[in-house]
Structure 1
Amino acid sequence: MTKSKNLKGPIILISKPIAFTFPFGYAYLAGYLMEKGEDVKILFRPENPNDYEKFVDEVINLNPLLVGLGTLYPDIYPVGDIIKIFKEKKCQFPLVIGGQMVTPLPEFVTQITGADYGVIGEGEIILHNLVTALRNEEDTKDIKGLIINNSGKIINTGSGPFIQDMSKLPRVPYELFPAEKWLNVGRYYIFQPQPHWRYNDKIIDIHGGRGCPFNCNFCYHHSMPRYRSISDMMNDAKMAIEKYDVNMLNFGDDLVVGSPVRARELVEGIKTLPKKIEFALTCHFDVVSRFDDNLLLALKKAGLRNMGLGVESGSQKILDTINKKLKVEQIREGFKRLKKFGIFPFVCIQVGQLNETNEDVQKSMNLMLETLRENKHINWSFTITTPFPGTALYDIAMEKGLLKEHMDFYNKFNYGNRKLNLVVNLSKMTDQEINDWIKKLNKAYRKEKNRLIGKKVWIIERLRMRLFRANEKLNKYIQKLPQNIITKLLIKTINKIHDHTQIALDFFRLYFLGVL
């Protein structure tokens, strides 16, 4: 276990590169520490592993008190690689990991990555307690919520404290995260064209709470739901509008509108914002079925553009297996009602669920094509079921002997190197059949979607993609030239022309789609 040499050093938190969603985990950790008077720096690990060593040298030169890393399970591999480099360079500060990567299997993950400490569960209070102990040179074994790796000897200090009252959450320090990486999210979707997001969208994520009221077999459930008040969320929204001039809010978790009462409160809250704004929600079809038409209309008038909903399967047997507490007919009816009010759904189907058969997946295919033909603006995606640690499916895989130990999943998942998405097959299908179904679903969806949107839209979307790639290549070429006022002005001018062209093409795309 490495001790801190610089007891007055900053806390460095290393996030994965930002893509699509704002990293609330790191933001709340940083916000809590900052409220306690700590100096916190957020760094972003390089996308290219070849740059890890140079990055580690830069971190070491900052002489921190500690370095924190980790989010979801796929992070375990790059985090482990970076920790290995830190150890090889004999860094003089402890390395701390956390997030859902750690909590389900804290001892295993702390040991396999070589970290000095693992944080179990929600980390704001626990990490601050660790920081305080390190600064005061106190024994960290007295801190609850830690895994301590003492030269391979693992110590679990038990469950730690967490923030129970959501009104006590710290302010999110958005300013620590480069806005160009998370604000213009619409630009990330050029290669996944849909009317849900627009090139010129400036979007901020608003957090609705912690935990989950549902119990799906493929999700890790770490706590009971705790809801943020709508007024607190609207305060975040007002700040975003004033500071970043956003035109859209993304409420990306199920807790925002977990009931009709919450949905009505949200409608009233949106009305208090300083300007007209659009927003996206995540919800469940069974919750939508409890929204009457007046409430859906009120949400639409308030600015609701998109709604993310988990379909998962078109087979009632599989929905019951997942524990969705949802009927296929509710899904069909929900799609019809969302179309009626002009709300764009984005949904997902998974393949390879427990005891799933070819007949079950065919029902998913049928549901996808049937609903798409009724509403061309449904955005479908497809994935293979993965039994991540901490889920009911992971326990079943262990019971069935498909996984004999945690190292089996670690080796099979191997996110950076694996060729196929299938890790553990819990279905009644062969591995090849599962992979074939994913290809069939994607092919059928693309073919039908292209037919429905029409040739004009298809041409515009391809043109937008080519322009985007060309602009990226041109920027990289100019950046290799000697940097001076002329090259900087050239890059600025080229990007401005590109942005205006994309906005114009976006307008015509949406016009021909019939959504303007």
Structure 2
Amino acid sequence: MNKVLLFYPNAEDKAHWLPYAILTLGTILADNEFEVVLIDEVLYAENPREIEKIVEQNIEDTLFVGISSFIGNQIRNGLKFAKIIRTYNCKVPIVWGGWHPSILKEVTIKSEYVDFIIQGQGELIILELANKLVSKDNRFSDIDGLIYMDNGLIKVNKERKFVQRSELPNYNWELIDVKKYIVEDKAISDKTVSYISSQGCPLNCGFCSENAMYKRGWYANTAYQMYDDINFLLKNYDIDGISFYDSNFTVDKKRILTFCELVIRSDLKFKWAAAADILFLRGLTNEEWELLRKSGCTRLLIGAESGSEKILNLIGKKFKPKDVIDISEKSIEFGISLYFTMIVGWPENPIDDFQKTKELIESIREKTLEHEFIIHIYAPFIGTPLYQYACENGYIPPKTLEDWANYDYYKITTPWISKEFLEKVEDYRMHLNISYNMNKNRKKYKKDIVDRGE
């Protein structure tokens, strides 16, 4: 019995990305002769009964079930799936991994629907656990990074050291139907798929849980591995766009520029977008900006966060509002648009910060309407540098795994934010969206006229 079911719960947002969290685990298991069944819940949104059918067909000879989860909806949907598993086979072990179980391990392991937790980077841990279970060896204390219950006591093994993604197997694309994940992305192309080339981030942003998960480490594929994967995807699945879902794509400048050069030299034709750090972009020469453009970069996601220098210091950012303005102007010179994420509603001076953030946005929009802005409300999350500060200011966090299942970081409410403040933020969001879409429609109309020769 060497079959493993790996489940990726639906996050219930609009994004439709490849489930790399279970693909990378499935890859290393398949490479070691385990039979792997990947279940991405989002593919069954219109017919959820199909998931139960997959369980029915496979559960009798399943070695264990794996569930990867962030917070909120993924916990809720992961628990629903775990309950289905328990209904069909109450003895098969259920293994959880991902951000939430790794960070809130004590809360998670107490659930009756959790037998093991894989903490942090899971590929090597899940392989060792699979080998233990298939050999019926119940001595789990020597698996670094594993958490489990033993006679009612929580056992937390020592943490496992992370390894570079270049030391792990390349993604096994045969485990998944890539064609089901090809989407239209207006900022990239009509036939775009997501790709993850690295994990973690060395920055220490006060609101971000990356440092709690990856300890400020960064673990990446090489430029050559990235190129090989993307070349394979383009040639085998008729796509022409890549959306890099790395938390910070631009940590290693040499890696990025080498990748761009490989793409240009091989005349690989596709467009791409990624998340970039402002300090990385600030340090680029014109020649390096041109490399990004020639390799197909059309858009970069920028965590500008705030127009208040005081707040930027509070949350650990090393740039100033002027740097954001400078980058917004430089990118337009090379035909690369920016997608700015802003966060408002901090515990300290939220009204003043919101005003300064609007001023920063409007100073950019006065010069160009090519860039897009999205505004989030600050959501405290355990393990982040600002979490304790939020609690000291009256925030009361969820207590149980089921409570965290109802945590919605897009609709979070905190005691220092009023309903009136939220309404003002929503009004401004609407203003930005309408303005951006009007500009895009105007450009499309002009292009259509030119194409028709009018």
TM-score by length of 2: 0.87
Deviation at 1:180, TM superposition (A): 3.4
1:455 shift after superposition = 5.6
Question: Which of 192, 203, 224 is equivalent to 2:193?
Answer: 203
Gaps of 5+ in 2: none
Aligned-pair identity (%): 22
Q: Secondary structure at the match of 2:110?
A: helix
Tell me how far apart the structure 1 counterparts of residues 45 and 191 of structure 2 sit (CA, whole Å): 31
Deviates more, 1:174-183 or 1:339-348: 174-183
Say if 1:511 and 1:408 are closer, same or farther in 2 by CA, change over 3 A: farther
Bigger Cα displacement from structure 2, 334-343 vs 247-256: 247-256
Spell out, residue by residue over 1:357-386, the C-alpha distance to the aligned partner (whole angstroms, 9 max, x if none): 212101112222332342222121121111
Equivalent of residue 326 in structure 1, options 319, 332, 337: 319
Q: In the alignment, is the contact (CA less than 8 A) between 2:149 and 2:155 conserved in 1?
A: no
- Partner residue, 1:110: 109
Distance in 2 separating the partners of 1:331 and 1:408: 40
Residue 121 (structure 2) aligns with:
122
Instruction: Give the alignment partner of residue 61 of structure 1, picking from 57, 61, 68.
Output: 57
CA RMSD of aligned residues (A): 3.0
Offset of residue 139 of structure 1? 1.2
* Contact 1:349-1:383 within 8 A present in 2 as well: yes
Contact 1:22 1:182 in 2 (8 A): yes
Counterpart mapping for 1:220-235 below 5 A:
220=209, 221=211, 222-223=213-214, 224-235=217-228
1:414 matched to which residue of 2? 406
Q: Indicate whether 1:431 and 2:426 are aligned.
A: no
What residue is the counterpart of 1:440 in the other structure?
427
Q: Offset of 1:40 from its aligned partner?
A: 0.6
**Mean Cα deviation higher: 433-442 or 131-140:** 433-442
Match of 2:385 among 375, 381, 392: 392
Q: Conserved in 1, the CA contact under 8 Å of 2:188 and 2:272? A: no
Superposition deviation, residue 168 in structure 1: 1.4
Shift of 1:212: 0.8
Instruction: Name the residue aligned to 1:24.
Output: 20
CA contact (8 A) 2:111 2:401 kept: no
Letter of the 1:387 partner, please give it.
Answer: P
Paired letter, 1:312: E
In structure 2, C-alpha distance between the alignment counterparts of 1:510 and 1:251, rounded to whole Å: 32
Residue 70 of structure 2: aligned partner? 72
- TM-score between the two structures when normalised by the length of structure 1: 0.77
Which secondary structure does the structure 2 equivalent of 1:149 belong to? strand
The structure with the larger Rg is: 1
Residues 124 and 162 in structure 1, CA contact (< 8 A), matched pair in contact too: no
Distance change >3 Å, CA 302–CA 274, structure 1 → 2: closer
Unaligned segments of structure 1, at least 5 residues = 1-7, 461-505
Q: Which has the higher strand share?
A: 2
Q: Separation in 1 of the partners of 2:56 and 2:154? A: 27
Contact 2:199 2:247 in 1 (8 A): no
Question: 5 Å matches for 1:100-179?
Answer: 100-112=99-111, 114-142=113-141, 143-149=143-149, 153-179=152-178
Provide the aligned length of Structure 1 versus Structure 2.
Answer: 441
Q: Does 1:40 align with 2:36?
A: yes
Q: 1:342 aligns with which of 330, 335, 352?
A: 335
Q: How does 1:422-501 map to 2 (within 5 A)?
A: 422-425=412-415, 429-453=416-440, 457=444
- Kept in 2: contact 1:77–1:415 (CA 8 A): no
Alpha carbons 2:244, 2:272 under 8 Å: kept: yes
Following superposition, the deviation at residue 228 of structure 1 comes to: 2.5
